[in-house]
Amino acid sequence: MFRFEVESPGTVVIELGTLEEEPNNFDTYLRLFDESGNEINFNDDIDEENRFSRITTELALGTYYAGVSGYSNADYEPNVAGMVWQEKQGTTPCSFVLTTTILMA
């Protein structure tokens, strides 16, 4: 979970990417929450060729959280400790970059 502040209303772009040589080796799921933990937006895949995620949305002044997980863990509940659905045990090696861009109105 990544926390960020919006200090002036505007368009926010949150995008996942990677620095790895094979950029599409991890299927991400991106969720956007308000400060109370309510989901306000989500994205699975940027497009058919890119399994990373991107959210573009208008946000008001406030505190927000970007939740990043793998596709098989898309249903977690951020307000309940330990609430994680796991079909498979283990880890998937992947380095990713989370970019948040705020475009002022």
pLDDT at site 34: 95
Our CA dihedral for 31, 97, 70, 39, rounded to 10 degrees, sits at -10
Does the pTM surpass 0.75? The reply is no
All domains in the chain, ordered by first residue: 2-104 (2.60.120.380)
Nearest of 19, 65, 26, 23 to residue 44 by alpha carbon = 26
One digit per residue, the tens of pLDDT, for the chain of length 105 reads: 888 889 888 888 888 776 666 655 567 778 899 999 899 998 877 667 776 788 889 999 999 998 887 666 656 665 555 444 444 444 555 555 666 666 655
pLDDT at site 89: 42
**Strands 28-34, 62-70: pairing kind:** antiparallel
The Cα 73–Cα 62 span in angstroms is 27
pLDDT at site 49: 72
- 71 HSE (CA, 13 A, CB side): 9
